[in-house]
């Protein structure tokens, strides 16, 4: 009679158990994965405000999570080598309890305030003491539960890989629930408490599954086959293939996310779509009957990648174009990951090698993520790794990687792939070097890509660009006290504010340096202080080879490096008569600068007759109602202006600009109340943003 051999006994093939017998295992991996992917955007949302809302916070956080996941998988692999299931359950139960001491989750202050010079080190160290213990122990759930399931005596115990689909379905749920339900409707404090409760539930379910295996072992009908328990050896060449097939999609995940979030916002609802696409491919390829055949996806991969590459340089002027771009890049990520993960799963070993397979798959994920988040910003001045990884994904699919000698990973053909990779890296590196030698430079750091470029029209203009957004420009034929242009033109709201306050503003604070354009609105008696988070921006703005605003108009001004929410706390109370907030990174929304707590800080640094100016020009979000709610909650008097330059002003290089002004009293806003260009604004009844609550999706919907 045909039989199915589970570890621990032999059963007739026709002996079938109800699907309900596998339900505890499915529920356990499902909810543990949901918790794992709920905590990722939750932690990044906690950490992002501390580092200026930079998209890199999410990328570095993903590397940390991938590394913790690797640690969890390595621990599960070692634990599975213990012969006693009872001992495995005891050890795991103790570690679950110890990791619970880190709950409820919060950002540890052990390493002090964030360091703008070394943000990656601070973020990584803070992750290790704040989130890593409970996350790593939960990460072991998927491989460990599958290993225990292989010992459970279930009819399909020989192939427990299908539980990984349940795990990834839980991941998908977590990714959907956070930006759609938890972020808009709950505070961070509530979220951490809910997560702690979920952790306790999963810990109970996991130990229950272990106990089920222990009791099942006692009732075994026959001893386990010694031969079946011995893992079959897998070649190191095959393991290297596992690593690459895992690394490229993981790197693409971070590359696509950075590209998407840089120009809109570094927020969970934009982090989620690429991660959902990535996780969905695991659900598909590990399913017993995949909804999409990975081989069929190969037919369209070249077309999708080509469209994504072409869209990289398209100007983004409208939300529709932005949405099309997001769809293209998420689609390219999905198709590439589906093809590569499909190839990976087709090469998975038997159950005896399950934990090792997951260990190498996780290691590949860490390597891919680390390359994009940690290595690429050092070796490339621009985001070359994203197109590079798209090309590699295409090369690694079976359609392209099969040569007349076989796979690119055999001994004869491996050099072909290596040469291709080296050639692409060399081309990108040469471009980086060439740009660094020219007047038009591109520099890359933790807070994004900053570049300068010259436009030769009637008069040559040097522009400063962060991401795809201009953050200042200078007419190059003006060296001594150049005229502020673009958003800072004297006819625009920011120029008007400096003019209206010129007689009573002695101390002026500027948050967001840009090219330093506002420096040349300075009057002889005024003292300027600048606050800037990005060292690259400071380097360029203070270099007279590029811009001379600072060197000629406020040469002795102090520049404080760091996030404004932190550096402004050291400014003297009521120290500024005029405070300009202009701290957008590309077009990304700095949510932490738009909260009640932030407004309290700003107002406390204004003199009684001081005025705060908020530059809120943005292509995607109308920030007027957002700031109006925050201002009203703090009893501020406020006005706003949407400026469209006349033909003559546009010819003098003035830009469309939107701004708001705030003060402690109507008397302080007297000059603006008397100027018909400024309009009063009242807040609606919607909830103001706080450090504990924000709803960027709602702000996007309100505008469109």
For 347-373, write each residue's pLDDT tens digit. Answer: 888 877 778 888 898 899 899 988 988
Give me 372's structure tokens: 């994009």
pLDDT band (50, 70, 90) for residue 581: very high
User: According to the model, what pLDDT value does residue 374 have?
Assistant: 85
Q: Which residues of 38-71 are buried (b: 16+ CB within 10 A; e: fewer)?
A: bbbbbbbbbbbbbbbbbbbbbbbbbbbbbbbbbb
Mean pLDDT for the chain overall: 82
Tell whether omega for the bond before 104 is within 30 degrees of 0, i.e. cis.
yes
Global pTM value? 0.72
Range of weakest confidence among 251-260, 266-275, 475-484: 266-275
Flag whether pLDDT at 404 surpasses 60. Answer: no
Q: CATH 1.20.1250 spans which residues of the chain? A: 1-230, 235-402
Q: Give the residue, 479 or 553, on which the prediction is more confident.
A: 553
Range of weakest confidence among 383-387, 492-496, 502-506, 573-577: 383-387
**Cross-strand partners of 443:** 450
Flag whether pLDDT at 226 surpasses 70. Answer: no
User: According to the model, what pLDDT value does residue 97 have?
Assistant: 92
Q: Cα separations (Å) of 457 from 440, 476, 495, 547, 672?
A: 16, 11, 24, 18, 35
Classify residue 594 as left (phi > 0), alpha (psi -120 to 50) or beta.
Answer: alpha
Q: Give the span between the Cα atoms of 387 and 213, in whole angstroms.
A: 47
Flag whether pLDDT at 425 surpasses 80. Answer: no
Sheet holding 606-615, edge to edge: 558-561, 527-532, 507-511, 576-581, 606-615, 657-663, 637-643, 679-680
Q: Give the residue, 318 or 189, on which the prediction is more confident.
A: 189
Number of helical (H) and strand (E) elements in the chain, helices listed first = 28, 16
Sign of the alpha-carbon dihedral angle for 63, 66, 70, 75: positive
Average pLDDT over residues 277-293: 82
How many CA atoms lie less than 13 Å away from 184 in the CB half-sphere? 14
Q: What is the largest CA-CA distance in the chain?
A: 99
User: According to the model, what pLDDT value does residue 264 have?
Assistant: 54
> What is the DSSP annotation of 353-386?
GHHHHHHHHHHHHHHHHHIIIIIHHHH-SS--HH
Element spanning 475, H or E: strand 469-475
Q: Give the span between the Cα atoms of 62 and 217, in whole angstroms.
A: 39
User: According to the model, what pLDDT value does residue 672 have?
Assistant: 96
Flag whether pLDDT at 19 surpasses 90. Answer: no
Antiparallel, parallel or unpaired: β 402-403 and 406-407 = antiparallel
Q: CATH 3.40.50.150 spans which residues of the chain? A: 472-703
User: According to the model, what pLDDT value does residue 313 have?
Assistant: 66
pLDDT band (50, 70, 90) for residue 172: confident
- 527 near 491, Cβ under 8 Å? no
What architecture (CATH level 2) is domain 1-230? Up-down Bundle (1.20)
Classify residue 115 as left (phi > 0), alpha (psi -120 to 50) or beta.
Answer: beta
Antiparallel, parallel or unpaired: β 3-6 and 576-581 = unpaired
The set of residues, in sequence order, having a beta carbon less than 8 Å from that of 315 and lying 6+ positions away, is: 321, 468
User: According to the model, what pLDDT value does residue 263 have?
Assistant: 55
Range of weakest confidence among 85-94, 178-187, 287-296, 612-621: 287-296
pLDDT band (50, 70, 90) for residue 429: low
Range of weakest confidence among 285-294, 319-328, 398-407, 518-527: 398-407
User: According to the model, what pLDDT value does residue 218 have?
Assistant: 58
User: According to the model, what pLDDT value does residue 435 have?
Assistant: 44
Flag whether pLDDT at 326 surpasses 70. Answer: yes
The set of residues, in sequence order, having a beta carbon less than 8 Å from that of 648 and lying 6+ positions away, is: none
- 88 near 211, Cβ under 8 Å? no
Q: Give the residue, 581 or 58, on which the prediction is more confident.
A: 581
Q: Give the span between the Cα atoms of 616 and 583, in whole angstroms.
A: 9
Identify which of 213, 258, 230, 199 has the alpha carbon closest to the alpha carbon of residue 84.
213
User: According to the model, what pLDDT value does residue 626 have?
Assistant: 92
Sign of the alpha-carbon dihedral angle for 522, 527, 530, 531: negative
Identify which of 540, 538, 539, 505 has the alpha carbon closest to the alpha carbon of residue 524.
505
pLDDT single digits (tens) 543-566: 999 999 999 999 999 999 988 888
User: According to the model, what pLDDT value does residue 166 have?
Assistant: 81
Give me 250's structure tokens: 């993981």
* Domain 472-703 top-level CATH class: alpha beta
Query: Which ranges of 112-187 would DSSP assign to H, the alpha helix?
Result: 119-130, 132-139, 141-150, 162-177, 183-185
User: According to the model, what pLDDT value does residue 95 have?
Assistant: 92
Percent of the chain exceeding pLDDT 70 equals 84
User: According to the model, what pLDDT value does residue 649 have?
Assistant: 94
Flag whether pLDDT at 527 surpasses 90. Answer: yes
The CB density around residue 523, as the number of other CB atoms within 10 Å, is 13
User: According to the model, what pLDDT value does residue 482 have?
Assistant: 95
Flag whether pLDDT at 209 surpasses 80. Answer: yes
User: According to the model, what pLDDT value does residue 98 have?
Assistant: 93
Average pLDDT over residues 490-494: 96
Q: Give the span between the Cα atoms of 504 and 333, in whole angstroms.
A: 55
Q: Give the residue, 518 or 155, on which the prediction is more confident.
A: 518
Flag whether pLDDT at 73 surpasses 80. Answer: yes
> CA-based angle 157:158:159, to the nearest 5?
90
Flag whether pLDDT at 647 surpasses 90. Answer: yes
Average pLDDT over residues 18-45: 81
Q: Is 302 exposed, middle or buried (0-12, 13-18, 19+ CB in 10 A)?
A: middle
How many CA atoms lie less than 13 Å away from 462 in the CB half-sphere? 25
User: According to the model, what pLDDT value does residue 486 have?
Assistant: 94
Q: Give the span between the Cα atoms of 20 and 23, in whole angstroms.
A: 5
Flag whether pLDDT at 3 surpasses 70. Answer: no
One of 1.20.1250, 1.10.15, 3.30.450, 3.40.1350 is the CATH number of 235-402, namely 1.20.1250
User: According to the model, what pLDDT value does residue 238 have?
Assistant: 86
Flag whether pLDDT at 524 surpasses 80. Answer: yes
Q: Give the span between the Cα atoms of 550 and 513, in whole angstroms.
A: 10
Q: Give the residue, 101 or 222, on which the prediction is more confident.
A: 101
- Can you say how many angstroms the Cα of residue 148 is from the centroid of all Cα atoms in its chain? 34
Flag whether pLDDT at 469 surpasses 60. Answer: yes
- 389 near 278, Cβ under 8 Å? no
């Amino acid at each position: 009679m045909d039989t199915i051999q589970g570890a621990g006994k032999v059963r007739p093939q026709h002996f079938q158990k109800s699907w309900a017998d596998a339900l505890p295992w499915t529920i356990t991996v499902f909810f543990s994965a949901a918790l794992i992917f709920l905590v990722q955007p939750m932690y990044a949302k906690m950490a992002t405000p501390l580092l200026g809302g930079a998209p890199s916070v999410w990328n570095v956080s993903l590397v940390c999570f991938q590394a913790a996941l690797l640690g969890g998988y390595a621990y599960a692999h070692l634990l599975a080598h213990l012969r006693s299931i009872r001992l495995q359950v005891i050890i795991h139960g103790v570690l679950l309890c110890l990791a619970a001491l880190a709950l409820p989750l919060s950002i540890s202050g052990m390493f002090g305030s964030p360091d703008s010079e070394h943000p990656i080190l601070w973020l990584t160290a803070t992750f290790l003491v704040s989130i890593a213990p409970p996350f790593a122990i939960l990460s072991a759930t998927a491989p460990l539960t599958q290993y225990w399931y292989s010992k459970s005596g279930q009819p399909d115990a020989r192939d427990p890989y299908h539980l990984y689909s349940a795990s990834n379905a839980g991941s998908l749920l977590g990714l959907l629930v956070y930006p759609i339900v938890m972020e808009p409707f709950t505070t961070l404090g509530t979220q951490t408490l809910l997560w702690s409760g979920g952790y306790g539930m999963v810990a109970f379910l996991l130990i229950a599954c272990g106990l089920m295996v222990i009791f099942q072992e006692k009732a075994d009908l026959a001893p386990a086959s010694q031969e079946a328990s011995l893992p079959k050896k897998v070649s190191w060449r095959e393991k290297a293939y596992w690593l690459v097939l895992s690394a490229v999609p993981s790197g693409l995940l971070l590359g696509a996310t950075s590209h998407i979030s840089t120009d809109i916002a570094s927020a969970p609802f934009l982090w989620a779509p690429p991660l959902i696409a990535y996780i969905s491919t695991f659900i598909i390829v590990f399913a017993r009957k995949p909804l999409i055949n990975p081989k069929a996806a190969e037919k369209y991969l070249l077309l999708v990648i080509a469209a994504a590459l072409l869209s990289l340089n398209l100007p983004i002027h409208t939300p529709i174009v932005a949405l099309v771009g997001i769809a293209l890049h998420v689609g390219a990520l999905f198709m590439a990951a589906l093809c590569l993960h499909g190839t990976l799963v087709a090469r998975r070993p038997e159950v005896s090698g399950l934990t090792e397979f997951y260990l190498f798959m996780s290691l590949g994920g860490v390597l891919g993520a680390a390359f994009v988040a940690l290595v690429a910003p050092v070796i490339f001045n621009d985001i070359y790794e994203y197109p590079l990884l798209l090309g590699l994904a295409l090369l690694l699919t079976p359609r392209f990687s099969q040569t007349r000698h076989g796979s690119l990973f055999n001994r004869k053909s491996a050099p072909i792939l290596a040469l291709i990779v080296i050639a692409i890296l060399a081309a990108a590196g040469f471009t980086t070097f060439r740009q660094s030698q020219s007047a038009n430079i591109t520099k890359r750091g933790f807070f994004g890509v900053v570049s300068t470029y010259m436009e030769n029209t009637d008069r040559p203009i040097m522009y400063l660009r962060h991401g795809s957004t201009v953050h200042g420009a200078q007419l190059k034929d003006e060296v001594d006290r150049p005229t502020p242009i673009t958003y800072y033109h004297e006819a625009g709201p920011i120029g008007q504010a400096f003019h209206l306050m010129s007689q009573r503003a002695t101390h002026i604070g500027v948050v967001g340096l840009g090219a330093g354009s506002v420096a040349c609105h300075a009057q002889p008696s005024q003292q300027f202080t600048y606050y800037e988070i990005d060292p690259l921006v400071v380097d360029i703005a203070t270099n007279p080879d590029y811009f001379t605003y600072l060197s000629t108009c406020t040469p002795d001004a102090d520049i404080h490096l760091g996030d404004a929410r932190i550096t402004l706390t050291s400014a003297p109370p009521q120290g500024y008569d005029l405070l300009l907030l202009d701290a957008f990174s590309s077009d990304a929304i700095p949510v932490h600068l738009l909260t009640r707590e932030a407004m309290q800080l700003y107002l406390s640094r204004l003199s009684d007759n001081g005025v705060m100016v908020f530059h809120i020009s943005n292509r995607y979000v109308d920030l007027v109602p957002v700031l109006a709610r925050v201002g009203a909650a703090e009893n501020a008097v406020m006005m706003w202006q949407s400026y469209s330059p006349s033909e003559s002003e546009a010819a003098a290089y003035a830009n469309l600009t939107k701004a708001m002004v705030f003060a402690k009293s109507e008397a302080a806003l007297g000059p603006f109340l008397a100027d018909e260009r400024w309009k009063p604004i009242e807040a609606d009844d919607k909830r103001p943003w706080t450090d504990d609550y924000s709803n960027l999706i709602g702000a996007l919907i309100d505008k469109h």
